[in-house]
Amino acid sequence: MAWMKRILYMAVLSSTVMLFAAEKNETVNTTLPVASAILMDAYRYLGSLDSFSFNAVTSNDDVYRDTMLVSYQHKVEVSLQRPDKLRVHVFGDLKNRSTYLIEDTFTLIDNEHNFYGQVQVPKTIDSTLDHLFENFNIKTPLANLLYTDLDNRLPPKHKGYYFGSTLIDDKMCHHIGFTNENRELQVWIEKSQTPLIKKFVIIDKVEKLNPRSATLIRWDLHPRFDEKHFRFNAPEGAVKISVSARGKR
């Protein structure tokens, strides 16, 4: 009987070792990608591109009389050529505007009311975006996708989560998220050598009813532009208005 006990003991020991090994391998195999690293790679990649264009569909919630959320949708068309050429069209439920940047001249036109303003700006897209916001309170739609140094401007400061992968426009994407006391952010980033941000959702946790915005993006990394594409030509009957810096008359 002693030999049988030894056989049973060895069998139990062997099973225990195999179970431990399986658990150890499972732990290694289920290690999730780091969400912040994925997002930073996407930021750096966008900043490295000399030119691109994209079409986006955005939906934004607005709190109506503290009672319900009303959703508005817009389409955004962006063309960018570094260092100093940018064209943006946004049109939809509430807005119908276009902006043009070429060298040191920025133009904003309200296509519905047919009036426009122009200001002199620094000769790079990054500096222009900063200048417009700081001095005129003008923010270009989806401006965060246009900077070269977004990895330095908006590094993730809070714990990130990896939710897995999913298809967006037939492209397999990482699905990641971040949260803090003010908002939640979910981002879908292409799993490839071109880690493009394909979709993102922002939830406002401070505002009543937690309004959200969602954006779906389709990219073109090989656009063909000529200078006319970025140069503004005033349409017939358009009225030019003066533009003053914030706090100045």
> What does the pLDDT read at residue 80?
98
| Reported pTM | 0.84
Judge whether 177 and 164 are in contact, CB under 8 Å: no
C-alpha of 41 from chain center: 13
DSSP letter (8 states) at residue 217: E
pLDDT, tens only, 37-80: 999 999 999 999 999 999 999 999 999 999 999 999 999 999 99
Judge whether 121 and 132 are in contact, CB under 8 Å: yes
Beta strands, E only, 169-209:
171-179, 183-190, 197-204
Judge whether 114 and 235 are in contact, CB under 8 Å: yes
> What does the pLDDT read at residue 31?
64
Bridge partner residues of 240 (DSSP):
116
Judge whether 177 and 187 are in contact, CB under 8 Å: yes
Kindly report each contact of residues 19-25 with a partner whose C-beta sits within 8 Å and lies 24 or more positions away, as own/partner: none
> What does the pLDDT read at residue 63?
94
What ranges do the domains of the chain cover?
35-240
DSSP letter (8 states) at residue 33: P
| CATH architecture under which domain 35-240 falls | Clam (2.50)
Task: Give the chain's length.
Answer: 249
> What does the pLDDT read at residue 155?
78
Question: pLDDT 10s per residue in the chain (249 long)?
Answer: 444 334 333 343 333 333 223 333 433 334 678 999 999 999 999 999 999 999 999 999 999 999 999 999 999 999 999 999 999 999 999 999 999 999 999 999 999 999 999 999 998 999 999 999 999 998 888 999 999 999 898 877 777 999 999 999 999 999 999 999 999 999 999 999 999 999 999 999 999 899 999 999 999 999 999 989 999 999 999 999 998 887 555
> What does the pLDDT read at residue 90?
97
